[in-house]
Structure 1
Amino acid sequence: MARSDRAPQDMRTTLQNWLPKLVLSPSLAAMMVFVYGFIIYTIYLSFTNSKMLPSNEIIGLENYTRLFGLSAWTTALINLAIFASLYIVICIAIGLLLAIFLDQKIRGEGVLRPIYLYPMALSFIVTGTAWKWLLDPGIGLENTMHLWGWESFKFGWIKDRNYAIYTLVIAAVWQSSGFVMAMFLAGLRGIDNEMLKAAQIDGASNWNLYRRIVIPLLRPAFLSAFVILAHLAIKSYDLVIALTGGGPGRATELPATFMYSYTFTRNQMGVGAASAVIMLMGVAAVMVPYIYAEVKESR
């Protein structure tokens, strides 16, 4: 009788062990094929003479040599450096200030927090379209100021080759700073209040309290914010297309828009694949040290 009771129990245990694997296996298989499989295939294409269609003719590093000889690619990298540096620094600064502001237990925090977080719920296409309307001199902010009688007001950055890249920064910061605020706010709420009270009893001012205790303890939040924002900056495509279309000229061309245009518009699949691999290496340069640090810390 005991033996007959043990059999269903063993079967139940075996089923409990295998059921999660069976449920997850289709998703895992799809991810292996459609993510990692296509990454490997893109790397392969970057070494081939692919034009409009994939080719199996191996040409070595010729696509990479051509890529770094193109002025459009150089412009895209310079634009990325400007966009990413301003985007990351401003988002972290605004996010930290908003988090400190909300951490003061102010009234209406429950209302303000969703307001700050709302932009992140929008897609970058929606954000780009809305800011395109707002910044367009003919229908946006400049036109509104003129209708109100401020005829001397000028804000045509979106049409200016020298300033158009900064319109991307404005729109991206508006969308992401609330998300960064949430990360910092979670870090602030996790700090031991007894430590802060002890520092205040010792005579520490609010400035020294944040500078010497709070901000150093937020190091994991700073690192996480940097990794996420850098990843978003490197792969920015939809915001650029919706807001400026890469123009005027190539003033807002980024590696992602360059990759798309050379792959699907100029029929230079090999060069486009090479640019995609360079972008992948950029993302890996940000992600791998972060993952390594996290794994090392958890041991």
Structure 2
Amino acid sequence: MSASTAPDFRTRLQDWLPKLVLAPSFAVTILFVYGFIGFTVVLSFTGSKMLPSFKWVGWENYAKLWALPAWNTAIVNIAIFASLYIVICTLVGLMLAIFLDQKIRGEGVLRPIYLYPMALSFIVTGTAWKWFLDPGIGLERVMHLWGWESFSFTWIKDGDMAIYTIVIAAVWQTSGFVMAMFLAGLRGIDNEILKAAQIDGASNWQLYRRIVIPLLRPAFLSAFVILSHLAIKSYDLVVALTGGGPGRATEMPATFMYSYTFTRNQMGIGASSAVIMLMTIAAIMVPYLYAELKEKK
């Protein structure tokens, strides 16, 4: 090998080596993520029951899906849960971020305390809140032992109120993460802008309403996308906390999809519900990614 070809070979090797190293993981991702997404879409148009079947039925599964009372209950529940979860998490996270941004003492201790719940899995959170809210062993029982016999908190057993217990547990776990996003946004605001507004006589309320909050628009958008994604995928928290009950009072699209696919042997209907969930997430993620890419260009 001549001296001129050796550097050329090393240059090409350096160019191809990262691609060769990443190729296996890329192939696995294509197969086990996008490949199975495509397979699920195909199953949603087939008459699959207990096992996959490629008997084409068109939109029949989707028509059956929207005629099921359980699916309509799941849609209502996800609408209630997602709206409350996103709004409350955003407000709590913003308030905690503003509180920590005041350069208070003990910020280094408070910040990890607020963030700690996000380090737990949703299974752990659901189990802990299930014990806490259980009238027999949780909050109500403790209050009775302390002498407050009239205290009653049976939401987890009440079909009309059980969905709100999921909101409470989810907000408790995720608010600290949203706080961290807003705190990063607050720390990124140019202090010169705030000082100029204060010199002009702006009050703290006007400062936040007209300057700080508008400058946090990217943080609001990111929080909305992440919280929407978590809300739509809410399966493990629901299973651990209420199991979808009492009855079907806390049924969600994710729990509906699992039950119809693996316990009721209606794989085609389960696949169609999964596709609808995927399209909902895509409707949120695609515009967000498009806006991010457009802004970078």
TM range (shorter): over 0.9
Deviation for aligned residue 1:20: 1.1
For residues 152-177 of structure 1, the C-alpha deviation after alignment (integer angstroms, 9 at most, x for no partner) is 11011000001000000000000000
Partner of 1:252: helix, strand, or coil?
A: coil
2:103 equivalent in structure 1: 105
2:206 equivalent in structure 1: 208
Map residues 259-278 of structure 1 onto 2, 5 A cutoff.
Answer: 259-278=257-276
For residues 220-261 of structure 1, the C-alpha deviation after alignment (integer angstroms, 9 at most, x for no partner) is 000000000000000100000000000001110000000000
Partner of 2:103: helix, strand, or coil?
A: coil
Deviation for aligned residue 1:11: 2.5
TM-score when normalising by structure 2: 0.99
Alignment partners' CA distance in 1, 2:195 and 2:11: 51
Alignment partners' CA distance in 1, 2:177 and 2:142: 30
Letter of the 2:188 counterpart: G
Map residues 130-141 of structure 1 onto 2, 5 A cutoff.
Answer: 130-141=128-139
Which of the numbers 47, 52, 68 marks the counterpart of 1:54? Answer: 52
Map residues 1-40 of structure 1 onto 2, 5 A cutoff.
Answer: 4=3, 6-40=4-38
Which of the numbers 64, 67, 70 marks the counterpart of 1:66? Answer: 64
2:227 equivalent in structure 1: 229
Alignment partners' CA distance in 2, 1:40 and 1:143: 50
Deviation for aligned residue 1:16: 1.7
Which of the numbers 183, 186, 193 marks the counterpart of 1:185? Answer: 183
Which of the numbers 142, 153, 156 marks the counterpart of 1:155? Answer: 153
2:141 equivalent in structure 1: 143
Deviation for aligned residue 1:14: 1.6
Letter of the 1:248 counterpart: P
Letter of the 1:197 counterpart: K
Letter of the 1:86 counterpart: L
| Structure 1 stretch displaced more, 31-40 or 8-17 | 8-17
1:85 equivalent in structure 2: 83
- Identity, % of aligned positions: 79
The total of aligned residue pairs comes to: 297
1:123 equivalent in structure 2: 121
Which of the numbers 164, 167, 177 marks the counterpart of 1:166? Answer: 164
Deviation for aligned residue 1:15: 1.9
1:281 equivalent in structure 2: 279
Alignment partners' CA distance in 1, 2:150 and 2:50: 50
Alignment partners' CA distance in 2, 1:15 and 1:170: 54
Letter of the 2:172 counterpart: W
2:193 equivalent in structure 1: 195
Deviation for aligned residue 1:12: 2.4
Letter of the 1:200 counterpart: Q
TM-score when normalising by structure 1: 0.98
Alignment partners' CA distance in 2, 1:18 and 1:181: 42
Alignment partners' CA distance in 2, 1:157 and 1:179: 26
